[in-house]
Chains A and B, each alone.
Chain A
């Protein structure tokens, strides 16, 4: 019998042409809210910390003197602007973090929305509805804009509220401008991700292209802030334009113009190209056929190496670059620290127990940054392992002569080897950088400092594998959460006198600031032991639990 729809059963949905916008916004709002709260926490803690730590003009002057001319910190977080004021300090610190995290979040979300949805086949469903490729792309951008709205509202409201409670009297428009600056970091790279998704045939490659744009922007901005002779570079960097907005103190809204043009041009190009190409195709065409290469295809371990090869190379190069860049500027940063009477105190706030100001302290901070970077690599690799399970690739092994533990040990082998490579790369290239400037830190010291951070990487990998065993769907979230928490505590903890019990929950907090101080191998052993125990527990649980697809 054929059912006939009658008028009173027939439902017409409103705005069918906007379904992509609503879908994208719904899927993006949660992560936007999470990062909104993280930035809001950073902003509020900066306000609270500054008010409590730098009460007198003398203290603030010393801060300006120390941080204002520290090329290493300038390169990382941007050139401080009016950090003798609460607003200037808060904007500098929070935007410095947001320029890294917000941009990466923006580009990953964007490539997931565009190329990721297309790869999964879901985009096809949208295009068979009441939309076209161009309108669909434009709608997706509108959805991402809505997610940015969530981030904007949370950060603006938190900054306004924190400002009011401490009688700083940030106006609503100042707070909103600050929220806009934070959202703009993500917006720029959302637009970049939208465009690279039209260029690359797979999401991973689209993300890689977008990351390349981010890397160049960051480098240009960092070089400009670290060296006065390269100051002009900031005008060419999308991240430099963000820095020049100077929200909360001496704002320069004029820099919104290049940001808006950049976003508009990239977005329009993405929409235009979406209509030019076939569904599933890309402008930078990839070869559809290839000669069979059987190398590394003989075992799950070999395949894991082959699949993760590019990722591992990328992360290792990233660690090498961070090491080289910071090693290179270590000497100049040291000179500034030596010249400053109060610098040791401030650096020790950042560096915990380290009392030695100088190149080694600066290089110690380099290794803390490398720790975070390599922790992100660990998350990426463990997440990729989970992806093999959730997408059903793992089934191909387990229905043949491969046991779960054999497959897992292969993947773990790749993870631990990759982490070790990155640690060594950071140390060796850090040494090359600092040795090229005759900074005077020996290879042995740098290598030992590198090994000093390896236990923390084994620990975070252990957290990931434990989660993978017990709650596989939460693997990446738990790992990123642990990293974000540790990073936030390090940033905030250096500014405000946080309770040591809270600080102790940061994984980074327990890492000795080698080469400034000798590595604490006892802590290292505890990290390794805990990491190995978690890995074993996670592995045992994985071996006995049901496979869980997405």
Chain B
């Protein structure tokens, strides 16, 4: 597959503070990459570096094989960007804004624009200053999607949208993927990322801490096991891969990371009435990573 975005040691420092620290990332053609991280992790900094709005203090980024700083215009011809906060001219109408943004971009599928306007239930005759936050965000989304650009870079694209519109966005994103477009999706909505993304990159304090598919990441995290017994549950404390053991009456819940066989052997021997195992959700993965950071901060 072709690499659409490739960063190599991409770094942005403000004085001693590293907003982004040696980011190595590769986004393949046709995939949706979820870009996650807590507030201030460096997600927007990454996007602004990729778009050439700010300059790296180290490393480099290539989009479509072109240098993101030197070949900005060539790159921008082929991508569309959805910002997290819609800074649009308050006295233009929605329709005028679409026209302006389309003209500046250089291409727009007018038929698709009309279709998107209907799908997002958007009224384009109003002036931008009268729109709600969600409606202003729809302008950014519709303008970007209607370009049919090869690469869509989105920074919190569903910010301010209601659940119905979030669903409309998901459908559009999947259609774009089906059309061979690539999406770089920075989001806080884990359910949205889990539903859409092929791979995930998780950023923490400016550093990439996890990168891979959700399945690969799940293997890194603990599996939750819950078992119910007729009598007292067996003791599990001596098992080295088992942690967070909670016993309530006849039920025991624990997490296992590593070899699950010793745990299953003990539970089976105790003849469980029910036995459930569950892989971690993205939210649990995210919280476990973020939780470590909070613990480290507290220690620091």
- A199 within 8 A of partner (CB): no
A303 to B79 alpha-carbon distance, docked (Å) = 22
Q: Determine, out of A270-278, A293-301, A475-483, the stretch whose residues face the partner at the interface.
A: A293-301
Check if B81 sits within 8 Å of A399, measured CB to CB: yes
Residue interface mask B63-89, A partner, CB < 8 A = 1? 000000000110011010101010111
Check if A400 sits within 8 Å of B106, measured CB to CB: yes
Contacts of B88 in A (CB 8 A): 393, 396
Contacts of B243 in A (CB 8 A): none
Contacts of B93 in A (CB 8 A): 289-290, 292
Q: Which of B52, B72, B89 contacts A393 (CB 8 A)?
A: B89
Extra inter-chain contacts (18) besides given A292-B93, A395-B53, A544-B55, CB under 8 Å: A286-B127, A289-B127, A292-B96, A292-B99, A292-B124, A292-B125, A293-B96, A299-B103, A299-B104, A303-B89, A307-B91, A395-B83, A397-B104, A398-B51, A398-B76, A399-B51, A401-B77, A402-B73
Contacts of B72 in A (CB 8 A): 398, 403
Q: Which residues 93-107 of B have a CB within 8 angstroms of A?
A: 93, 95-96, 99-101, 103-106
Check if B76 sits within 8 Å of A401, measured CB to CB: yes
A299 to B101 alpha-carbon distance, docked (Å) = 9
Contacts of B52 in A (CB 8 A): 398
Check if B73 sits within 8 Å of A403, measured CB to CB: yes
Q: How far is the CB of B276 from chain A (nearest CB, A)?
A: 25
Q: Which residues 356-401 of A have a CB within 8 angstroms of B?
A: 391-393, 395-401
Contacts of A289 in B (CB 8 A): 93, 125-127
Contacts of B106 in A (CB 8 A): 400-401
A234 to B54 alpha-carbon distance, docked (Å) = 56
Q: Which residues 281-335 of A have a CB within 8 angstroms of B?
A: 286-294, 297-300, 303, 307
Q: How far is the CB of B136 from chain A (nearest CB, A)?
A: 12
Contacts of B51 in A (CB 8 A): 398-399
Check if A546 sits within 8 Å of B55, measured CB to CB: yes
- B273 within 8 A of partner (CB): no
Contacts of B100 in A (CB 8 A): 297, 303
- B90 within 8 A of partner (CB): yes
Q: Which of A288, A399, A547 contacts B127 (CB 8 A)?
A: A288
Contacts of B54 in A (CB 8 A): 546-547
Check if B85 sits within 8 Å of A392, measured CB to CB: yes
Q: Which of B104, B105, B124, B126 contacts A288 (CB 8 A)?
A: B126
Question: What is the interface of chain B, defined by CB distance below 8 A to chain A?
Answer: 48, 51-55, 72-73, 76-77, 79, 81, 83, 85, 87-93, 95-96, 99-101, 103-106, 124-127, 129-130
A545 to B96 alpha-carbon distance, docked (Å) = 30
Query: What are 28 contact pairs spanning A and B, CB under 8 A?
Result: A202-B90, A202-B129, A286-B127, A288-B126, A288-B127, A289-B93, A290-B125, A292-B93, A292-B95, A292-B96, A292-B99, A297-B92, A297-B99, A297-B103, A307-B89, A395-B83, A396-B101, A398-B52, A398-B72, A398-B76, A399-B53, A400-B76, A400-B101, A400-B106, A401-B77, A403-B73, A546-B55, A547-B54
Contacts of A545 in B (CB 8 A): 55
Q: How far is the CB of B82 from chain A (nearest CB, A)?
A: 10
Q: Which single residue of chain A is at the shortest CB-CB distance from B83?
A: A395
A547 to B87 alpha-carbon distance, docked (Å) = 14
Contacts of B76 in A (CB 8 A): 398-401
Contacts of A546 in B (CB 8 A): 53-55
Q: Which residues 191-214 of A have a CB within 8 angstroms of B?
A: 201-202
Check if A401 sits within 8 Å of B125, measured CB to CB: no
A294 to B90 alpha-carbon distance, docked (Å) = 15
A14 to B88 alpha-carbon distance, docked (Å) = 39
Q: How far is the CB of A206 from chain B (nearest CB, A)?
A: 14
Q: How large is the interface on A (under 10, 10 to 19, 20 to 34, 35 or more residues)?
A: 20 to 34
A398 to B125 alpha-carbon distance, docked (Å) = 26
Contacts of A400 in B (CB 8 A): 76, 101, 104-106
Contacts of B90 in A (CB 8 A): 202
The 10 closest A-B pairs by CB, nearest first: A392-B87, A546-B54, A292-B95, A399-B81, A400-B104, A400-B105, A288-B130, A289-B125, A297-B100, A547-B53
Q: Which residues 234-284 of A have a CB within 8 angstroms of B?
A: none
Q: Which residues 515-550 of A have a CB within 8 angstroms of B?
A: 544-547
A202 to B127 alpha-carbon distance, docked (Å) = 12
Q: How far is the CB of B188 from chain A (nearest CB, A)?
A: 19
Q: Which of A291, A300, A303, A398 contacts B53 (CB 8 A)?
A: A398
Contacts of A201 in B (CB 8 A): 129
A393 to B83 alpha-carbon distance, docked (Å) = 11
Q: Which single residue of chain B is at the shortest CB-CB distance from A303?
A: B100
Q: How far is the CB of A385 from chain B (nearest CB, A)?
A: 14
Q: How far is the CB of A134 from chain B (nearest CB, A)?
A: 24
Q: Which single residue of chain A is at the shortest CB-CB distance from B47?
A: A399
A393 to B100 alpha-carbon distance, docked (Å) = 12
A393 to B88 alpha-carbon distance, docked (Å) = 6
Contacts of A397 in B (CB 8 A): 104
Q: A400-B106, A546-B54 are in contact. Are A294 and B129 (CB under 8 A)?
A: no
Q: A290-B127, A293-B96, A401-B76 are in contact. Are A392 and B103 (CB under 8 A)?
A: no
Contacts of B73 in A (CB 8 A): 401-403
Check if B87 sits within 8 Å of A391, measured CB to CB: yes
A46 to B51 alpha-carbon distance, docked (Å) = 55
Check if A395 sits within 8 Å of B87, measured CB to CB: yes
Q: Which single residue of chain A is at the shortest CB-CB distance from B104?
A: A400
Contacts of B87 in A (CB 8 A): 391-393, 395-396
A294 to B83 alpha-carbon distance, docked (Å) = 24
Which of A287, A544, A547 lies at the interface centre, i.e. has the most chain B CB atoms within 10 A of its CB?
A: A547
Q: Which single residue of chain A is at the shortest CB-CB distance from B69?
A: A544
Q: How far is the CB of A278 from chain B (nearest CB, A)?
A: 12
Check if A294 sits within 8 Å of B125, measured CB to CB: no
Contacts of A287 in B (CB 8 A): 127
Q: How far is the CB of B165 from chain A (nearest CB, A)?
A: 21
Check if A297 sits within 8 Å of B53, measured CB to CB: no
Q: How far is the CB of B31 from chain A (nearest CB, A)?
A: 21
Contacts of A298 in B (CB 8 A): 103
Contacts of A398 in B (CB 8 A): 51-53, 72, 76
